[in-house]
Structure 1
Amino acid sequence: MDRPRCVWVRKADARVPGKLPIVYSKSYAVRFHGLERLHPFNAAKGKHIYKALCAEFSLAEGSFYEPEELTKHQLRRIHTRQYLRSLRWSLNVARIAEVSLMAFVPNNYLNHFYLRPMRFQAAGSILAGKLALDYGWAINLGGGFHHCCSNRGGGFCAYADISLLIVRLFDQEQCRVRRIMIVDLDAHQGNGHERDFSNWDTVYILDIYNALIYPRDNVAKLSIRSGAELPNHTEDATYLRQLGRCLMQSLAAFRPDVVIYNAGTDILKGDPLGNMDITAEGVIERDRLVFSTFRGLGIPVVMLLSGGYTKASARVITDSIVNLRQHGLLDLSPL
């Protein structure tokens, strides 16, 4: 895919004094009169990380950026009308969320208490992409819905935030962003963005995942340009060795202008869906390796949280972000 030529124009810096390029909103949380407890995903994960980071960094409220809810027009940049219309049926939403009881809930309730938080999280990913270009890094305390593509949701993912972020960067940041790399390290294959960017030579996909779990999408695999299919119960040494190999291979073949890092913590040992045996220390080292590799080359990194279904997940993510700061990989100078 060829990008249009453009004349360099310096865009206005999006930074706001006193804020960090971390994106979060109270509207991320799914609240549904306790029905959310039937879902393996911790709907309050972002809130727990937000509070922990404020304590760790001694931050006042308002130190993070907040997104605005995505509009139907914005969603249409990727999603088909037919798919968006399908979300008006509770049965379809229940299938995507994998909570069968949702099929019996009026759709207007599902829209407000489930789909609306997903639209906020997807908006957070897009905002984080813009911030990463100005700060060199950004983290969305949500998002990473990598099983959703333009015409189909699944695996808890109702909106394709990664695809929306990519087309937004190509549309609005043409002079700064012409080549994008996805580094997908969630335990599950990222079949949504792989289907959306099949045959795009300007989007390079690195994906390391457990090959024996959902979604096992063989068609989508054809879009992966570097990766590893791992067995159940993969441990730190093997995982980190494969990651190092894939990062070197990817950079030898492709030099991106920005990296979208899908940093799922469902690789943690004990996660009920990831079925891998990576320790907390392994996750922290994984994140450090990704950030140091790309930030060392001056390439902005957008980190999305994606999956993670244990109570320990929020604490591990917090500790990892603190570790990135201690290694000088997160510039907090705007504070």
Structure 2
Amino acid sequence: MSQKEDKEAQKVSHETDLYVEVPSTCIPIVYSPQYNITFMGLEKLHPFDAGKWGKVIHFLKEEQFLTDDNIVEAREATEEDLLVVHTKLYLSKLKWSAVVATITEIPPLLFLPNFLVQRKVLRPLRTQTGGTIMAGKLAIDKWGGFHHCSSNKGGGFCAYADITLAIKFLFERVDGVARATIIDLDAHQGNGHERDFLEDRRVYIMDVYNRHIYPGDGFAKRAIKRKVELDWGTEDMEYLQKVELHSEGALNEIRPDIVIYNAGTDILDGDPLGGLAISPQGIMKRDEIIFRAARRRGIPILMVTSGGYQKKTARIIADSILNLHRQGLIGGIALDAAGPSLQPVAMGQSVLPAATVSTV
């Protein structure tokens, strides 16, 4: 066995606590209070709302969609879990507060002891990453991110490559999962997972993003099989037409075993970083388009809620989840006369902080 093959075998054989059996009574939403980053107000120095996920869950509880007893509790990804994708060298760099300050774009972290940075910043990110991995398995079971972070480099508030990890775990551990399609609808190009899967023909990437903003990674664009570049101020009609046309085209071109849907809300009109002009109703319709496309084809879907830099995005995410449920596109309904369970949803992270709504 070659060194490369031996390394791959070690990755597959490591024991993980992330692939757990989930009670059938649970709604397929993966979340943990540990997702939310709060520490001396430092989280307010970044435009992303680091408590967004807790607010989404609060709204869903208010609508009596969720209770504490039927949420799937996310677990923290261990170093062994992270090594499935990341290098030891990269993970060791995160033991330097200056590196984390650069990745998260919160300069004052530079002056904090690393044990505090680990506890207050990286542990939540590792829990979000664990949630995304769990959500991928949940999507497959129920049926029947950080998109700027690659294996050896973080950026754009993304310290761990949760989308890449979720896909690699599925490829290595779940029989019958051999192809994945990433539909990345965050306003920013998903350069992290694009770099990770640049030479991997098992992964098809569709990316719809504002061509004028971060990261502008020309090298990573080579991995995109269906590229849709938008201009400043793109509005609902043009946007939704392109999303529907290209998502249908992507899923017709290659039928995957799972769809990873990066549902960033930084496309919302007024977002300080996205530069697009999509309405709340447009975001809800966009999510419906993707779920219906997957549902018609019987493809499990993992949804990560990704970027979004306005306070009202949490309410919009909750409203979209409720709408998908009302439309019969998500939920924890067991087998019945209509056929398999409906698509699930899981909260996690991906792309300039994201929550992971794992859906099937």
TM-score, with normalisation over the residues of structure 2? 0.86
Matches within 5 A, 1:20-35: 20-35=27-42
User: What is the alpha-carbon distance in structure 2 between the residues aligned to residue 197 and residue 277 of structure 1?
Assistant: 30
SS in 1 for 2:261: strand
The answer to whether residue 68 in structure 2 is matched with residue 61 in structure 1 is yes
User: What is the alpha-carbon distance in structure 2 between the residues aligned to residue 13 and residue 124 of structure 1?
Assistant: 11
Task: Give the Å deviation of 1:258.
Answer: 0.4
User: What is the alpha-carbon distance in structure 2 between the residues aligned to residue 208 and residue 131 of structure 1?
Assistant: 26
Matches within 5 A, 1:159-178: 159-173=160-174, 175-178=175-178
1:209 aligns to what?
Answer: 209
Q: Deviations over 1:109-139 (max 9, x none)?
A: 11110000000000000000011112239xx
User: What is the alpha-carbon distance in structure 2 between the residues aligned to residue 210 and residue 50 of structure 1?
Assistant: 29
Query: Greater relative contact order (Cα 8 A, min sep 6): structure 1 or 2?
Result: 2
Matches within 5 A, 1:74-89: 74-89=81-96
Q: Deviations over 1:297-321 (max 9, x none)?
A: 1100000011011011001001101
Q: Is the 8 A contact 1:136 1:295 kept in 2?
A: no
TM-score, with normalisation over the residues of structure 1? 0.92
User: What is the alpha-carbon distance in structure 2 between the residues aligned to residue 63 and residue 232 of structure 1?
Assistant: 41
- The percentage of counterpart residues that share the same residue type is 48
**RMSD of equivalent CA atoms:** 1.6
1:247 aligns to what?
Answer: 247
- Select the residue among 39, 49, 53 that pairs with 2:56: 49
1:18 aligns to what?
Answer: 25
SS in 2 for 1:277: coil
Q: Which runs of 4+ in 1 moved over 3 A?
A: 12-15
User: What is the alpha-carbon distance in structure 2 between the residues aligned to residue 83 and residue 56 of structure 1?
Assistant: 42
2:234 aligns to what?
Answer: 234
Query: Aligned AA for 1:207?
Result: D
1:151 aligns to what?
Answer: 152
Q: How many residues align?
A: 317
- Select the residue among 139, 155, 160 that pairs with 1:132: 139
Query: Aligned AA for 2:93?
Result: S
Q: Which runs of 5+ in 2 are unaligned?
A: 1-18, 335-340, 342-360
Task: Give the Å deviation of 1:149.
Answer: 0.2
**107-116 or 54-63: which moved more?**
54-63
Query: Aligned AA for 1:208?
Result: V
Q: Which runs of 5+ in 1 are unaligned?
A: 1-11, 138-143
Q: Is the 8 A contact 1:184 1:190 kept in 2?
A: yes
Q: Is the 8 A contact 1:14 1:134 kept in 2?
A: no
Q: Is the 8 A contact 2:186 2:306 kept in 1?
A: yes
User: What is the alpha-carbon distance in structure 1 between the residues aligned to residue 20 and residue 324 of structure 2?
Assistant: 24
User: What is the alpha-carbon distance in structure 2 between the residues aligned to residue 165 and residue 101 of structure 1?
Assistant: 31
User: What is the alpha-carbon distance in structure 1 between the residues aligned to residue 109 and residue 22 of structure 2?
Assistant: 40
